[in-house]
Amino acid sequence: MSDIANKILFLPERASTFAERVDVLHYFVVGTTMVMSAGVGLAALFFFFRFRRRVPNQTTEYVVPDLKTEFLFVSVPLVFFLVWFAIGFRDFTWVTTPPKDAMDVYVMGKQWMWKFAYPEGPNGVNVLHVPANRPVRLLITSRDVLHSFYVPAFRIKMDALPGRYTQVWFEATKPGTYQVLCTEYCGLSHSKMLAEVVVLAPEDFEEWLKEQQRGRLQGRQDALADTSLVPPVARMAEQGEKLAGTQGCLKCHTVDGAPHVGPTFLGMYDRQEKLADGQTIRVDEAYITQSMMDPGAHLVAGYQNVMPTYQGKLQGPETAAIVEYIKTLRTANVREVSSEGPAYDPIQ
Amino acid sequence: MTPSSSPTAEGVLPGHDDAGGHAGHHDHPSYLVDGTTVKSWLLTIDHKRIGLMFLASVLFFFLVGGVFALAVRVELLTPGPTIMDAMTYNRAFTLHGLIMIFLFMIPAIPAAFGNFMLPLMLGAKDVAFPRLNLASFYIYVTGAVLMVWGMLNGGLDTGWTFYTPYSTHTTTTVAPVLFGAFVIGFSSIATGLNFIVTVHTMRAPGITWFKLPLFVWAIYATSCIQVLATPVIGLLTLLVVGENLFSFGLFDPARGGDPVLFQHLFWFYSHPAVYIMVLPAFGVMSEVVAAFSRKNIFGYRAVAYSSLGIAFVGFFAWGHHMFVSGQSTFDAGVFGVLTMLVGVFTAIKVFNWVGTVYKGAVDFRTPFAYFCGFLFFTVFGGMTGIAVGTVSLDMPWHDTYFVVAHFHFIMVGATLMAFLAAFHYWFPKMFGRMYHEGWGLVSAALIILGFNATFIPQFLLGNYGMPRRYYEYPERFQALNVASTAGASLLAFGFVIVAIYLTYALFYGRVAGKNPWRSKGYEWLSESPPPTHNFVGPQPTFPEEPHYYVAPKKDEVNDV
């Protein structure tokens, strides 16, 4: 049934849980639109015929609608539109709120290619491998201009902005290869900025991950014996740790829970943080990135606005690596006591 | 062209003091022949001549924009390169969008037909500030020249949206084009201001606010948007020019700026700008549907108020262009609901137009044929607008051909239908001549069919996942692209026919007489074409509603 509808509407393959939600609303909206338009159109056609001019000088009755009619004109569309909105907003909230256990992948748009990086290992260009039936969160940024990451089969799309991370998630439902397109005009070869998502069965994905960790020589039997010959695939968190040192982050941020010039990195990720302006904010990728690029934007309560911006000093992948490093510094005890604020006293 | 000043058998219309007297005509030549030198046209302060000059300019730019539209469509016939390289294509769609929006759609109905008709509909001799009106035309021309010069020398490739940081990084020439847009903005503001003051101060005795023709209501609401929103894009274009030439860093994240800020400012103008384009169209259609079904407008007040409602709510819906731009989910919800309200106001209009035909006396002439097309495009364009305003559905549709098809349906479909309907409806009033009705109907059918054939495949392309602004595309999209290009050819063919028979009618058309449609619109109380000061004799008074087709009182003669 829905396959026929998809053929008529030219909808692409439906390969994610979000696609199933969106398509249902899509049918509903298209259906009501068609019925509505047919109603208005047929009424108009009937009137054209029924009330055609019979003599050149014909006069007409003076017709004024009563309040009830006008009320009907307003309320019927309003109710329909609000129902669409309510369903649409529920689904939109769902797709912009990744589940906690989602697998992270960093996506970086660049004129004119997509780069993908996994916190635990491999990275690649223009091919994204993901397991089926597992939520995958994409943390999307750009190195130059705006791009937009679009997978028609998953019905998801999110802009890639330089200097900050946006996120969207999906759960692919069947293995296969799906096209990724860029939908934000980004210059000369905008239309060539194509990539693909390869969805693998979970066990195939594990296998693929292992192969990636064995490195490029995995196809060569003789080399398999001595994996030390193969340089280990760089782990983002390790890179991040190095960068935190070389970029000077650790001069002001400790990793042992002690407050210093800035808040400690320990247990920082995923914490509710009280801000200087009284609001609270959840420390996520977006907030950490923003704090690197524009430190004063949301200042944690109790700290001075003294951090310099790292805008232009850190590349997209470097930012992501530091974020991943901070994410590794989650400790159970800090998280338990710190749902309302820092686990330490602020500097007076 | 020798316009008619020979009154055939005109009768006296109610409330019109002048008897259409034969004697007065030689002292009051029509505006077309009152001064025939080039100078008398270029330095005129007559709103009708200025309206005509605007009409000629927008028609010229419609032609230019249309040629580029066809070039783009032909390029998309095949998945790979067809007739041009990627950079040329990127420039072509930018040029198409910029010219069509800033130089055609926005000024088309208000500046051309609004200028011509507004004072006539108010029983006024001219607009409130005739010299400002002329200045507005020259400002428009200056901006247009700057813009086109920039596009031809340097070749802008940002798309008409100028999104940063691309527009501040591209090597192509952005500054003159943006500066041109800035200049054109002043024209828009001046025209809007002029109309607002005119409507407030120049209504003839008897024309109360609720006796205003609905076209005037629509133009009034449009003018409010123009005056309030245009300054924002004016300043924004200056900021981008500054960013481009002097590296301000407002929108460039590499210098601490925010590219999303640009989008907010841009859509704060450009979303209401959609209503600058369609509200006048709604106004024209209210006039046309009343005139050709000889009926008072069903729910006059609802239609009038909904114009103001659209103008008002239109200001608060800009964020629906940015659902996937990284704005917060909460913002998306707010902008989503507000978008729905615009749809409700439009629905009120649609229902009331259909209601107007009820118990009417329909004469299916060319303008009415365009009304039918308009109804279809407005309903479909409007409903698809609500669909893309539905946040979760927008996620797959955003920046695909679905959106392209949607905004062409509502902005171009509706506005173009209204533009053509206005042209045909008021042609006898403006030039005193009639066009060939048969050709009118044939070309209307061709244009409506061609338009559907062009853009319905694009809705499907969007569903299928084809992003907009693609020079090359995966092969699976080809069939629908070919269908769309074929439709565009049909559409272009329709326009050629219109151009031919209207040009012919301009010189050799049958003399129209004062009121060939037997319309009760106020503008038809004047001669066709009107004399320089619109009405001969003392100031006319208008005791009746603008569309009052009830049986005449006994002493009235009610016919041509």
Does residue A318 sit in the same domain as residue A335?
yes
Is the pLDDT at B486 greater than 70? The verdict is yes
Does residue A15 sit in the same domain as residue A87?
yes
Q: Any idea what the Cα angle at residue A263 is, between residues A261 and A269, rounded to 5°?
A: 155
With a CB cutoff of 8 Å and minimum separation 6, the contacts of A234 are: none
Residues B522-544 pLDDT 10s: 899 888 899 988 888 877 777 78
Does residue A138 sit in the same domain as residue A211?
yes
What's the token pair of residue A249?
A: 């982050």
- Residue B8: pLDDT band with limits 50, 70, 90: very low
Is the pLDDT at B483 greater than 80? The verdict is yes
Q: Is residue A2 within 8 angstroms of chain B, CB to CB? A: no
Does residue A244 sit in the same domain as residue A261?
yes
Taking only Cα atoms into account, the Rg of chain B, rounded to an integer number of angstroms, comes to: 23
Measured between alpha carbons, how far is A323 from A317 in angstroms, rounded to an integer? 10
Neighbours of A221 (CB within 10 A): 8
What's the token pair of residue A253?
A: 């941020």
Does residue A140 sit in the same domain as residue A52?
no
Average pLDDT over residues A290-318: 84
DSSP E strands in chain A: the ranges are 103-110, 113-117, 123-125, 127-131, 136-142, 147-151, 156-160, 166-170, 176-182, 195-200, 272-274, 280-282
Is the pLDDT at A307 greater than 50? The verdict is yes
Residues B15-26 pLDDT 10s: 343 434 444 445
Query: Which residues on chain B are in Cβ contact (under 8 Å) with A85?
Result: 336-337, 340, 389-391
Measured between alpha carbons, how far is A155 from A20 in angstroms, rounded to an integer? 9
Query: Which residues on chain B are in Cβ contact (under 8 Å) with A43?
Result: 354
Is the pLDDT at B487 greater than 60? The verdict is yes
* For chain A, percent of residues with pLDDT exceeding 70: 88
Whether A51 and B360 lie within 8 Å, measured CB to CB? yes
Does residue A241 sit in the same domain as residue A340?
yes
Within-domain flag for A224:
no
CA B423, B428, B433, B439: dihedral to nearest 10 degrees?
50
Nearest to A92 among B298, B358, B392 (CB): B392
Residues A109-156 pLDDT 10s: 998 899 998 887 677 889 999 999 999 999 999 988 999 999 999 999
Whether B87 and A52 lie within 8 Å, measured CB to CB? no
**Length of chain B as a residue count:** 560
Nearest to A85 among B259, B336, B364 (CB): B336
Identify the pLDDT of residue B555.
Answer: 52
Nearest C-alpha neighbor of B392 from the set B342, B464, B324, B325 = B324
CATH of the domain at A38: 1.10.287
Query: Which residues on chain B are in Cβ contact (under 8 Å) with A9?
Result: 460, 463
Amino acid found at B360: G
DSSP A164-212: S-EEEEE-B-S-EEEEEEE-S--STTGGG--EEEEEE-HHHHHHHHHHH
Is the pLDDT at B229 greater than 90? The verdict is yes
Within-domain flag for A230:
no
B-proximal residues of A, 201-260, CB under 8 Å: none
> Which residues sit opposite A200 in a β-bridge?
A131
Residues B267-316 pLDDT 10s: 999 999 999 999 999 999 999 999 999 999 999 999 999 999 999 999 99
Within-domain flag for A168:
yes
Picking from A75, A95, A115, the residue at the C-terminal end of a domain is A95
Whether A21 and B253 lie within 8 Å, measured CB to CB? no
Q: Is residue A58 within 8 angstroms of chain B, CB to CB? A: yes
- Residue B352: pLDDT band with limits 50, 70, 90: very high
- Secondary structure (3-state) at B461: helix
Specify whether the CB–CB gap between A69 and B358 falls below 8 A: no
CA B9, B14, B19, B25: dihedral to nearest 10 degrees?
-80
- Å from B299 to nearest chain A CA? 6
Domain regions of chain B by residue span: 43-525
Residues B403-445 pLDDT 10s: 999 999 999 999 999 999 999 999 999 999 999 999 999 999 9
Does residue A203 sit in the same domain as residue A113?
yes
Measured between alpha carbons, how far is B404 from B51 in angstroms, rounded to an integer? 30
pTM of the model: 0.87
Nearest C-alpha neighbor of B255 from the set A294, A250, A120 = A294
C-alpha distances (whole Å) from B490 to each of A75, B70, B485 are: 39, 11, 9
Does residue A245 sit in the same domain as residue A309?
yes
b/e code B300-338 from CB counts within 10 Å (16+ = b): bebbbebbbbbbbbbbbbbbbbbbbbbbeeeebbebbbb
B79-83, B262-266, B444-448, B552-556: segment of lowest average pLDDT: B552-556
Q: Which residue of B has its CA nearest to A52?
A: B362
Amino acid found at A220: R
Whether B347 and A73 lie within 8 Å, measured CB to CB? yes
Boundaries of domain holding A308: 236-344
Nearest to A185 among B166, B348, B463 (CB): B166
What's the token pair of residue B318?
A: 């800009």
Amino acid found at B475: E
Whether B253 and A146 lie within 8 Å, measured CB to CB? no
Is the pLDDT at B11 greater than 50? The verdict is no
The architecture (CATH level 2) of B43-525 comes to: Up-down Bundle (1.20)
Within-domain flag for A157:
yes
The ipTM of this complex is 0.88
Amino acid found at A65: P
CATH of the domain at A301: 1.10.760.10
Residues B36-51 pLDDT 10s: 899 999 999 999 999 9
C-alpha distances (whole Å) from B6 to each of B2, B34, B512, B552 are: 11, 16, 10, 26
User: Helix, strand, coil: what percent of chain B each, to 5?
Assistant: 70, 0, 30
Picking from A78, A95, A112, the residue at the C-terminal end of a domain is A95
- Provide the domain count of chain A: 3
Within-domain flag for A40:
yes
CATH of the domain at A178: 2.60.40.420
Mean of pLDDT over chain A: 84
Measured between alpha carbons, how far is B311 from B290 in angstroms, rounded to an integer? 23
Does residue A188 sit in the same domain as residue A253?
no
Identify the pLDDT of residue B86.
Answer: 93
Within-domain flag for A229:
no
Does residue A274 sit in the same domain as residue A191?
no
